[in-house]
Structure 1
């Protein structure tokens, strides 16, 4: 673990939180564990990726995840479904993968299209193979600190905060965003570390008055450069979990870095941690199922 450099609240430039470097280390560790499991049991961890349609961004994300699997010695199985796939057909596919003993983790790339009941699809994934942490079961076990799989991006954020020695107990964490796979779960993980958590969203009144109270600010609102330096308490830790067209996050980086003490860049901050956490949890699942 590294310790953040001491900075005054008015430091002109925040220290960058390098998610890429930490993610590489995590992938190396996952590869070592995968190789050990293969030697011991003869079985290689396998992640099944399911993609509905041919959305360019989703295709790119899945290709990237499969490439990282190869680097970590994890076998990948890709299931490509046509855009016209129905909810029932997608549920059948995910149920079959859940029942397949050769598959240890399942990733349903989202979004899946407005005609599909995404929640019904997620719930077709067996909890033991929900390495992306998207089911009700995973959210509940994560929230209660029980043995399960956390949502990958929130878990990656916590790992990054730990790596940079950010103390969470007693701190005020403000989460801007309330999605089921990012905003809500990251707040629960922060609460589990004894932070005081405030959730904000699109209907929050006087947002800046709340974000300026944050010792740790998590931006997960899905709007490019939505939060600026004026939203940030001097010396705060800023986690930008957004990714928008043009390679920009939900935080206006240039103005935010003049106020924050630590900040994640986009790209190279939270994104690599998400994929590394997915691979780590796939190996976890394989070890439990072996």
Structure 2
């Protein structure tokens, strides 16, 4: 997975996490979900540019990836467990993009987005439901099933229903998984030993590449991947059968996120996107 980094998001500090290709849930919009440094789940929408939004959703023990699906937010907590909380649209705080402020529902005053005390008063205490009381990483969701790395079981990949039942191993070997994503019936995962794929039922385990990979994202029947530790990192893509491998993007890029046929990424502090084949690059903030 790409290393965590702290960047300045519109004047507020936010922790952006690698592997956020999974974080879009079932939304047709490009909502990027993260946790604000004060354990507050936030999301922001950069596309189209004229509709940029920042919304603060819940005050919970969120630390890693955040996935929204319907009325629920699924996330990794500070102890690496998996939790969920109900997403209540009526309680969300909309931040004014221009000056990064919000009007408190409690005192009707304007506050800066960095005013943690005011944020927590407005958001209130959210009920957190524990789904997996172990050490997890690399969270992904497909319909009613979560997929993740179970660090208590030699980093093997597991599935679990979104109500916390039916915990099932997908792989059964000692792994060091850097990142994972979902592609139709497949779980695709990255390791320092290569790029692998396994059916969601644990069958047909195969290696697609034998080169080091630490980020993977999927979109429109393509698997995108890269090794951020390479001297000159390049985003490449390949089909699930291992064919049609090609370079897509080179140069400076950070925190890539695949959505459909677009790849979103940072160059420095600026957000860009390009089409899945690397064409049509544009700066969008």
**Same fold by TM (over 0.5)?**
no
Query: Could you state the TM-score of these two structures normalised by the residue count of structure 2?
Result: 0.28
Greater strand share, 1 or 2? 2
Q: Name whichever structure is richer in helix by fraction.
A: 1
Report the TM-score, using the length of structure 1 for normalisation: 0.28
